[in-house]
Structure 1
């Protein structure tokens, strides 16, 4: 790219002196917020830890914005307000946006809007849910138009008055896309976007895996490409369905394709009841667990409902409760130092104090892979308030053992619902079949909201046949443990600073050290080798933008995963990254001070 291009990139060490000089020029000399410094530079105590995004054109730097993530444990606002005066400073997912500054001659261009948008996208890509900022009082209307809201705290710093402002990342993003979507789309078409996050969120606002299928081609015109792709970004089984399943589907595929299935999937209901020693009246079926989540939560919850999710947790739950229904959602923070395990006493206290309508527990957890013993959960539920419903997601329980299921409790306790996907454990992800277990009255209410023919004939046929071959699947689940252990050992051997965490399911996590590449960079580099991993950063701030989830595959594909990670880590060593470049003709698209 030539020198006439605007660059938008993370700051390099060489940028820092210019940042200090521009800060002094604007905040000491121009605005009088700080006393002038004889050296002509303005620094603060966060400079060694926070993040700068820089706009530049060729060798000329144009502007920057500073971001302070929550894992630093302190914010610049704390120079003016103690946390007791501004309780939002104690929130786990709060990012501070600071000192958006543009060189005077560039203030009428799109540099500042691009920096603001990049900051918002960077925060969302690291799991941020709320921002806080200090905005100059005379520019309050501009901040209000952007979606920020005053928190009722006015701050004087030198000659400048500021308002403390805050906003939801989701709401700020939706407002920007709604009000300025056309401009953003025009900017995107002109931007060579190389920051380690997408320029814009998915249309539905939910981060899913499955980029590997995009690489194969969602138009299904080049399915042969699948043989070259390692799809470790989704948790599909590495093993094929049981031989009987493949035979049943292959016997008369034309008939299976053209024939309407049993409207209520009665045979599948009966087979599940037999396999799990349950009553059919306690079951409801869905085309995958997401179908059941959307249908059940939409029936039970309203925007006034209070919901507790573990953090980290499968992202679909936050999407449905927060964005689709609009519930009031809290997070129960799992801790890496506790091995990501649920502390039953701490969770019990949170549930008791929170007056929740619904508590969601994914067990084993996705993405941590940790399992909470059934006895602990039973005790916890027994002591919980009667008004609280518990949703237990057991999509990966086969990797622990079905004796750990709470399905029997759900059949008799109206406060408990167990959801089980047949996709991951039975190698039927493409079929989309799942069931939930609930007290018969609750299950009947959900069945009434289930459309006829909701589970396809291929899915019913495959699921029934799979459930009749427990020995095959038990063997596959046991072999998964061996493959997971081998993969974990090989990844650990790549770099002494890389942390591999292995749990109980068909995946593990890899965390990169501070100061090295981000998870998004590792994911992108591995894709160059047709190996697809899942960046966990948007799910939780606890991952700090540095953790990927890797599905366990067979021996050959696991070797490709290890080789791709090795090459990626080598390619991402310091000094080998490239800046982000944006076409210069976008500079007339906006204005800023």
Structure 2
């Protein structure tokens, strides 16, 4: 890019000495916050954990902003306030530490763009809250992006700071609404080199499926699908059962032009027979998302309180927090615990009775871990009567029907089980799902279901699929074999990375600290027409280092392994240089 563009990038090893020198000039010399250092450099005890974003124009560095991510385990604010005095630090925020611009550039857009870059970086790493110390004379800059005082003031040397905080979703909406046009104009003047998009995506839940953009969402270049490995979505690697293909091919013109049964009566009857459930305990929808939006919209209000696990399928946070506006708490799942749901911790979290709804995705997506049905039954039995449970069993077929809580949901008014037919039955393009609830709850949801909730092709396909359980059981067994082979091959690519198998049709690959980011790996693999899912925006617990990879067939799995190997070979030199650079 030309030297006239303002470059935004992650700090390089060469930037570090300049950062320390500028920090000394400003905070020791200009502001007298710190005592002068004979070296003319001011370092930070969190330098090894901080993330630095730099603004430059050509060869001239203009300014930087530093962030402390929650996985550092400590914050700069810990030096000044206790957690009792500032409980927001217990919510795993990202801390904006230092925003510093060279004097001659302070009247330019550099500082606002660095603040914007910090917000975008935080969102791309799954951050839900920002906290910052803003110099009192610069509070207007922080307020302009939507940060608000947390009610605490900090004195450091000759400088007074106000502690400010804000939710990442709200801050993003505020900045987009207020400064969207200005940002769009600035975009043409910025050389954006960060591993995240300049602008936030459209308002909605972020899913996998970027691979379809490469195919072409206008459907004019569908032949591209033959060139791509679409491992960023969890669609089945296998085709639907022969009977499904036959019923769709028999008379496609009639299927396309004919209205389906308005209440999907035949599909409901088939599900009831296949699952040994009373038909009056069932409701169907056009995929799980349809059922989630419909049910949660009936049950919850902005006054409702919801408990989710973290990480968890992103649709649940989107609907509860962003669409309905509920108060949402998280039960953190930890890598060191194997990402498992601890029944004792879950039971303790719900014991107070403050939750209107608890969501458990089992097996969990994206962690791939399964909580035994017996343990969940015990937790639910001991839970307060007012708490409703939503159990998402979209991938339970990979574990086995004995682990389903559908039977409990059919009789317990507190429990609803939702099951997608899309992923397990290779019907993702047709969209079909059902839920199980005691008859009164199911009847209410059916009453709020519009006619023709599932199209005729989907109804025909789902019924045919349910009538061929042996075909799918064989495909699910084969999926386990393919997953194990893919995991072994990926583990052999890089001994510093961690491969974690799931119980379903995907696995995760976590890059080492100091290595390339998950976003960089995903971008590099796309150069080889292999699409993986960066889990960073879903949860800060992935630390920007984890990708999810869907299991494909043998040939495509080999392409995934080859692409990951080539990507890491291309990315390692830059990551190694950054990691080897001294932090002082």
* 1:40 correspondence with 2:35: no
TM-score (norm 1): 0.96
> How many angstroms apart in 1 are the aligned matches of 2:575 and 2:308?
39
Contact persistence 2:8–2:190 (CA under 8 A) = no
- The match for 1:188 is 187
- The match for 1:591 is none
Structural mapping, 1:133-532, within 5 Å = 133-353=132-352, 355-532=354-531
CA shift, 1:354, in A, is: 5.5
Contact persistence 2:13–2:577 (CA under 8 A) = no
CA shift, 1:146, in A, is: 2.0
> How many angstroms apart in 1 are the aligned matches of 2:576 and 2:181?
31
CA shift, 1:235, in A, is: 0.1
- The match for 1:76 is 76
Greater RCO, CA 8 A, separation 6+: 1
Residues 575 and 144 (structure 1), Cα distance of their counterparts in 2 relative to 1, 3 Å cut: closer
> How many angstroms apart in 1 are the aligned matches of 2:485 and 2:413?
42
Residues 578 and 429 (structure 1), Cα distance of their counterparts in 2 relative to 1, 3 Å cut: farther
CA shift, 1:468, in A, is: 0.3
Q: Point out where structure 1 has 5 or more consecutive residues left out of the alignment.
A: 580-593
> What SS class does the counterpart of residue 574 from structure 1 fall into?
helix
CA shift, 1:78, in A, is: 1.2
Give CA deviations for 1:209-248 in whole Å, capped at 9, x if unaligned: 1000000000000111000010000000000000000000
> How many angstroms apart in 2 are the aligned matches of 1:157 and 1:191?
34
Residues 140 and 2 (structure 1), Cα distance of their counterparts in 2 relative to 1, 3 Å cut: closer
- The match for 1:7 is 7
CA shift, 1:540, in A, is: 1.0
> How many angstroms apart in 1 are the aligned matches of 2:261 and 2:191?
51
- The match for 1:127 is 126
Give CA deviations for 1:350-380 in whole Å, capped at 9, x if unaligned: 0113610000000000001111111111111
> How many angstroms apart in 2 are the aligned matches of 1:110 and 1:156?
28
- The match for 1:541 is 540
- The match for 1:114 is 113
CA shift, 1:148, in A, is: 1.0
- The match for 2:30 is 30
> How many angstroms apart in 2 are the aligned matches of 1:89 and 1:309?
20
- The match for 1:558 is 557
> How many angstroms apart in 1 are the aligned matches of 2:431 and 2:204?
22
Give CA deviations for 1:126-175 in whole Å, capped at 9, x if unaligned: 11111111011122233223211111111111111111111111111100
Contact persistence 1:120–1:169 (CA under 8 A) = yes
> How many angstroms apart in 1 are the aligned matches of 2:182 and 2:282?
49
> How many angstroms apart in 2 are the aligned matches of 1:533 and 1:385?
41
- The match for 1:56 is 56
> How many angstroms apart in 1 are the aligned matches of 2:454 and 2:176?
36
Contact persistence 2:9–2:192 (CA under 8 A) = no
> How many angstroms apart in 1 are the aligned matches of 2:97 and 2:45?
13
> How many angstroms apart in 2 are the aligned matches of 1:388 and 1:354?
7
Contact persistence 1:516–1:574 (CA under 8 A) = no
Contact persistence 2:6–2:189 (CA under 8 A) = no
> What SS class does the counterpart of residue 410 from structure 2 fall into?
helix
> What SS class does the counterpart of residue 574 from structure 2 fall into?
coil
- The match for 2:582 is none
Give CA deviations for 1:333-355 in whole Å, capped at 9, x if unaligned: 11111111111011100011361
> How many angstroms apart in 2 are the aligned matches of 1:76 and 1:258?
64
Give CA deviations for 1:220-279 in whole Å, capped at 9, x if unaligned: 001110000100000000000000000000000000001111101100000000000111
> How many angstroms apart in 2 are the aligned matches of 1:557 and 1:328?
42
> How many angstroms apart in 1 are the aligned matches of 2:419 and 2:204?
25
CA shift, 1:38, in A, is: 2.3
Give CA deviations for 1:28-66 in whole Å, capped at 9, x if unaligned: 111121122222211120112211000011211000000
Give CA deviations for 1:461-488 in whole Å, capped at 9, x if unaligned: 0000000000000000000000000000
> How many angstroms apart in 1 are the aligned matches of 2:454 and 2:577?
48
> How many angstroms apart in 1 are the aligned matches of 2:187 and 2:464?
48
The two structures, once aligned, show a CA RMSD in angstroms of 1.3
> How many angstroms apart in 2 are the aligned matches of 1:236 and 1:483?
15
> How many angstroms apart in 2 are the aligned matches of 1:336 and 1:144?
36
> How many angstroms apart in 2 are the aligned matches of 1:36 and 1:498?
42
Contact persistence 2:363–2:504 (CA under 8 A) = yes
Deviates more, 1:193-202 or 1:317-326: 193-202
CA shift, 1:578, in A, is: 12
Contact persistence 2:7–2:192 (CA under 8 A) = no
CA shift, 1:205, in A, is: 4.0
CA shift, 1:198, in A, is: 1.4
Contact persistence 1:51–1:68 (CA under 8 A) = yes
CA shift, 1:574, in A, is: 2.4
> What SS class does the counterpart of residue 573 from structure 1 fall into?
helix
TM-score (norm 2): 0.97
> How many angstroms apart in 1 are the aligned matches of 2:496 and 2:527?
23
> What SS class does the counterpart of residue 160 from structure 2 fall into?
strand
